[in-house]
Amino acid sequence: MIKRLHLLALSIAAAGLLSVTPTLADEVVDEIDDINAKKCIRVRSLRSTKIVDDLNIIFYMVGSTTYHNILPRQCHGLARQDRFSYESRSGNLCYHDTIRILYQAGVGMQEGNACPLGKFHPISKDDAAALSEKLNEPPQANPIPLPEPEELGEDDAEPGDERQN
Protein backbone atom coordinates (compact mmCIF):
# COMPACT_ATOMS: atom_id res chain seq x y z
CA MET A 1 0.00 0.00 0.00
CA ILE A 2 2.77 2.45 0.94
CA LYS A 3 4.65 1.56 -2.26
CA ARG A 4 1.57 2.37 -4.29
CA LEU A 5 1.31 5.78 -2.59
CA HIS A 6 4.96 6.51 -3.33
CA LEU A 7 4.40 5.60 -6.99
CA LEU A 8 1.28 7.76 -7.07
CA ALA A 9 3.15 10.73 -5.58
CA LEU A 10 6.00 10.23 -8.06
CA SER A 11 3.53 10.04 -10.97
CA ILE A 12 1.78 13.21 -9.84
CA ALA A 13 5.11 15.04 -9.51
CA ALA A 14 6.23 13.88 -12.98
CA ALA A 15 2.91 14.94 -14.51
CA GLY A 16 3.30 18.34 -12.87
CA LEU A 17 6.72 18.78 -14.45
CA LEU A 18 5.36 17.92 -17.89
CA SER A 19 2.46 20.34 -17.70
CA VAL A 20 4.25 23.53 -16.70
CA THR A 21 2.29 26.58 -17.83
CA PRO A 22 3.45 30.18 -17.79
CA THR A 23 2.35 32.26 -14.86
CA LEU A 24 0.39 35.47 -15.25
CA ALA A 25 3.56 37.44 -14.49
CA ASP A 26 5.41 35.64 -17.30
CA GLU A 27 2.58 36.45 -19.70
CA VAL A 28 2.65 40.14 -18.72
CA VAL A 29 6.45 40.29 -19.17
CA ASP A 30 6.13 38.59 -22.57
CA GLU A 31 3.45 41.09 -23.57
CA ILE A 32 5.61 44.05 -22.49
CA ASP A 33 8.63 42.56 -24.28
CA ASP A 34 6.52 42.14 -27.41
CA ILE A 35 5.43 45.80 -27.26
CA ASN A 36 9.07 46.96 -26.97
CA ALA A 37 10.37 44.49 -29.54
CA LYS A 38 11.25 45.60 -33.04
CA LYS A 39 10.27 43.56 -36.05
CA CYS A 40 13.27 44.73 -38.10
CA ILE A 41 16.71 46.27 -37.71
CA ARG A 42 18.71 48.18 -40.33
CA VAL A 43 21.60 46.11 -41.67
CA ARG A 44 23.70 49.27 -42.18
CA SER A 45 23.45 49.94 -38.43
CA LEU A 46 24.57 46.43 -37.46
CA ARG A 47 28.06 46.52 -35.90
CA SER A 48 28.47 42.91 -34.69
CA THR A 49 26.69 39.83 -33.37
CA LYS A 50 27.29 37.38 -30.54
CA ILE A 51 25.88 33.87 -30.80
CA VAL A 52 25.04 32.84 -27.25
CA ASP A 53 23.66 29.37 -28.01
CA ASP A 54 21.40 27.63 -30.55
CA LEU A 55 18.43 29.82 -29.53
CA ASN A 56 19.88 33.25 -28.68
CA ILE A 57 21.78 35.87 -30.68
CA ILE A 58 22.79 39.33 -29.49
CA PHE A 59 22.89 42.08 -32.13
CA TYR A 60 25.15 45.07 -31.34
CA MET A 61 24.19 48.16 -33.31
CA VAL A 62 26.18 51.31 -34.15
CA GLY A 63 25.76 53.60 -31.15
CA SER A 64 24.60 52.08 -27.89
CA THR A 65 21.61 49.97 -28.95
CA THR A 66 21.74 46.22 -28.35
CA TYR A 67 19.08 43.66 -29.28
CA HIS A 68 18.44 40.14 -28.06
CA ASN A 69 16.92 37.85 -30.68
CA ILE A 70 15.33 34.65 -29.39
CA LEU A 71 14.93 32.26 -32.30
CA PRO A 72 11.48 30.63 -32.53
CA ARG A 73 13.08 27.18 -32.57
CA GLN A 74 16.49 25.70 -31.89
CA CYS A 75 19.00 26.22 -34.69
CA HIS A 76 21.14 23.08 -34.39
CA GLY A 77 24.85 23.75 -34.91
CA LEU A 78 24.65 27.55 -34.61
CA ALA A 79 26.64 27.80 -31.36
CA ARG A 80 29.14 25.16 -32.44
CA GLN A 81 29.94 26.90 -35.74
CA ASP A 82 29.62 30.38 -34.19
CA ARG A 83 28.87 32.12 -37.50
CA PHE A 84 25.95 32.67 -39.84
CA SER A 85 25.02 34.45 -43.03
CA TYR A 86 21.90 36.37 -43.99
CA GLU A 87 20.54 38.00 -47.11
CA SER A 88 18.73 41.32 -47.11
CA ARG A 89 17.12 42.76 -50.20
CA SER A 90 15.41 45.63 -48.36
CA GLY A 91 18.33 46.74 -46.20
CA ASN A 92 16.56 45.34 -43.12
CA LEU A 93 16.88 42.15 -41.16
CA CYS A 94 13.45 41.18 -39.89
CA TYR A 95 11.80 38.52 -37.77
CA HIS A 96 10.94 35.47 -39.85
CA ASP A 97 13.88 36.27 -42.15
CA THR A 98 16.27 33.35 -42.19
CA ILE A 99 19.89 33.07 -41.25
CA ARG A 100 22.08 30.23 -42.48
CA ILE A 101 24.75 28.53 -40.43
CA LEU A 102 28.19 28.77 -42.06
CA TYR A 103 30.40 25.68 -42.01
CA GLN A 104 34.09 25.49 -42.85
CA ALA A 105 34.38 23.54 -46.10
CA GLY A 106 38.01 23.10 -47.15
CA VAL A 107 39.36 26.57 -47.84
CA GLY A 108 35.92 28.21 -48.07
CA MET A 109 32.60 28.40 -46.31
CA GLN A 110 29.45 26.43 -46.99
CA GLU A 111 25.91 27.37 -45.95
CA GLY A 112 24.02 24.89 -43.79
CA ASN A 113 20.76 24.88 -41.82
CA ALA A 114 18.35 27.78 -42.38
CA CYS A 115 16.78 29.17 -39.20
CA PRO A 116 14.13 31.89 -38.83
CA LEU A 117 14.80 34.91 -36.64
CA GLY A 118 12.54 36.08 -33.82
CA LYS A 119 11.76 39.67 -32.86
CA PHE A 120 14.52 42.01 -31.73
CA HIS A 121 14.20 42.82 -28.02
CA PRO A 122 16.16 45.88 -26.82
CA ILE A 123 18.48 45.10 -23.89
CA SER A 124 21.23 46.97 -22.07
CA LYS A 125 24.89 46.16 -22.66
CA ASP A 126 25.05 44.88 -19.06
CA ASP A 127 22.12 42.53 -19.73
CA ALA A 128 23.80 41.35 -22.93
CA ALA A 129 27.01 40.60 -21.03
CA ALA A 130 25.07 38.77 -18.30
CA LEU A 131 23.15 36.78 -20.92
CA SER A 132 26.38 35.71 -22.59
CA GLU A 133 27.96 34.68 -19.29
CA LYS A 134 24.86 33.03 -17.82
CA LEU A 135 24.05 30.89 -20.83
CA ASN A 136 27.63 29.68 -21.17
CA GLU A 137 27.56 28.22 -17.64
CA PRO A 138 26.43 24.63 -17.18
CA PRO A 139 22.84 24.40 -15.95
CA GLN A 140 22.23 23.84 -12.25
CA ALA A 141 19.92 20.98 -11.30
CA ASN A 142 17.70 21.67 -8.32
CA PRO A 143 15.72 18.77 -6.86
CA ILE A 144 11.98 19.22 -6.57
CA PRO A 145 10.64 18.16 -3.17
CA LEU A 146 7.93 15.53 -3.35
CA PRO A 147 4.96 15.68 -1.01
CA GLU A 148 5.04 13.30 1.90
CA PRO A 149 2.84 10.24 1.26
CA GLU A 150 -0.17 9.93 3.54
CA GLU A 151 -1.20 6.74 5.29
CA LEU A 152 -4.57 5.36 4.23
CA GLY A 153 -6.90 4.40 7.02
CA GLU A 154 -9.40 1.56 6.82
CA ASP A 155 -12.13 3.99 5.77
CA ASP A 156 -9.95 5.23 2.91
CA ALA A 157 -9.19 1.77 1.52
CA GLU A 158 -9.93 1.29 -2.14
CA PRO A 159 -12.53 -1.31 -3.17
CA GLY A 160 -10.92 -4.64 -3.80
CA ASP A 161 -8.20 -4.12 -1.16
CA GLU A 162 -8.15 -7.01 1.16
CA ARG A 163 -6.63 -6.55 4.56
CA GLN A 164 -5.84 -9.41 6.75
CA ASN A 165 -6.43 -8.79 10.44
Q: Considering the domain boundaries, does residue 94 fall inside one?
A: yes
The pTM is what? Answer: 0.62
Q: Considering the domain boundaries, does residue 2 fall inside one?
A: no
Q: Considering the domain boundaries, does residue 39 fall inside one?
A: yes
Terminal-to-terminal C-alpha distance of the chain = 15
State the maximum Cα–Cα separation within the chain, in Å, rounded to a whole number.
84
Q: For residue range 18-63, what is the model confidence (pLDDT) as tens digits? A: 334 445 444 544 555 577 889 999 999 999 999 999 999 999 999 9
Handedness of CA 4, 7, 13, 18 (dihedral sign): negative
Model confidence band, residue 6 (pLDDT cutoffs 50, 70, 90): very low
How many separate domains does the chain show? 1
Q: Considering the domain boundaries, does residue 114 fall inside one?
A: yes
Domain residue limits at 130: 25-136
Q: Considering the domain boundaries, does residue 1 fall inside one?
A: no
| SS3 state at 86 | strand
Model confidence band, residue 72 (pLDDT cutoffs 50, 70, 90): very high
Q: Which of 4-8, 20-24, 49-53, 102-106 tops mean pLDDT?
A: 49-53
Q: Considering the domain boundaries, does residue 5 fall inside one?
A: no
Q: Residue 104: what residue type?
A: Q
Q: Considering the domain boundaries, does residue 146 fall inside one?
A: no
Nearest to 77 by CA among 59, 103, 56: 103
Q: Considering the domain boundaries, does residue 57 fall inside one?
A: yes
